Amino acid sequence: MAALTEVQAKSAPIISRIENEAVRIGALKLVERCYNRGVEIRITQGLRTIEEQNSLYAQGRTIFTGPIVTNARGGQSYHNFSLAIDFVLIRGGYDMKYDGDCDGIADWVEVVTEAKALGFAWGGDWKSFKDNPHFEMTFGLSLADLRAGKRPTSTQILKAVSKMNALEEKEAQGMSVELEKKFYEFKKATEAQLKAQEEDIKALKKRAAMPEWADDLLSEMKLRKLITTSNDKGYEFSTMAQMLKNSGLLSEAFLKHAADINAKGSKGI
């Protein structure tokens, strides 16, 4: 992907000419938000003055250079009042099915989703003539209202901008909630791990400690010189001693027998 600033630069000349603040901010945010989800767009149209619209209307009609590109004369398009923008996918062009970021959602649909979230109406929703690359903010004003000189009020514009900012604040909040959740999950997992390690250590300590029941047994074995090492501590050691005793190998008879064999010379038992 190109850098965001490069993508922004492609739309800057058009966006900077948009007089309506909400539409201008909306266009800037749209480029950035689409970029953040892997879709690069260029704003191809913003403000089109009535003169520009008239000469565009003449194209293919009174001026026979190129095809007819619009059905709107000057004053018949929201572009003429700085209330509309058009876009194109930098990769994918006007292919509405193109999925350049391979997320299973057509890039075009992603752009439409973002634009609507920002408060734009989409030309693709129109019943009679669908204008798929077109978004507008009408502020409840018809083209007739606008031709008559009505304009969105500063309160309306401020409200539209606040709505866009609130959307991003809400998203930022959602993100911090998500982060907090992840942190608690991590903390919980770490605590569980620490507790398991503590249990292991406890078990190990228990195995290393001398059990009380082994005291007499070990004293007896030392007395008989069956234990000659000073390394005679621990649960394992005590268990071995107990096994030895249980097997009968510590009986008087056996020990005597063993002593006799040793006295004759160690020829084996």
CB of 131 to Zn ion, least distance (A): 6
DSSP 80: G
- The tally of CA atoms less than 13 A away on the side-chain side of residue 159 is 7
Whole-Å CA distances, 161 to 80, 107, 134, 155, 246: 21, 25, 20, 10, 87
What is the smallest separation between the CB atom of 40 and Zn ion, expressed in angstroms? 19
Q: Which is nearer to Zn ion, 126 or 186 (CB)?
A: 126
- Measured from the CB atom, the residue of 46 and 92 that comes closer to Zn ion is 46
The conformation of residue 78, written as its DSSP 8-state character, comes to: G
- Listing DSSP states for 15-29 in one string gives HHT--SHHHHHHHHH
What is the Cα gyration radius of the chain? 42
Quote the least distance from Cβ 77 to Zn ion, whole Å.
7
Q: Which is nearer to Zn ion, 13 or 174 (CB)?
A: 13
CB of 54 to Zn ion, least distance (A): 16
| Cβ at position 45, least distance to Zn ion in Å | 5
Q: Closest residue to Zn ion, Cβ-based?
A: 134
Q: How many CB atoms lie within 10 A of CB 84?
A: 26
Residues 6 or more apart whose CB falls under 8 angstroms from that of 236 comprise 207
Tokens of 245: 């005793």
Where on the chain is the footprint of Zn ion (CB under 5 A)? Answer: 84, 86, 134
First to last CA, the chain: 84
Comparing CB distances to Zn ion, the nearer of 35 and 78 is 78
For Zn ion, the closer CB: 70 or 156: 70
> Least separation, in Å, of the C-beta of 100 and Zn ion?
22
Cβ distance to Zn ion smaller for residue 101 or 131: 131
Q: Is the dihedral of CA 52, 145, 70, 99 positive or negative?
A: positive
What span, in angstroms and rounded, lies between the C-alpha atoms of 140 and 155?
Answer: 13
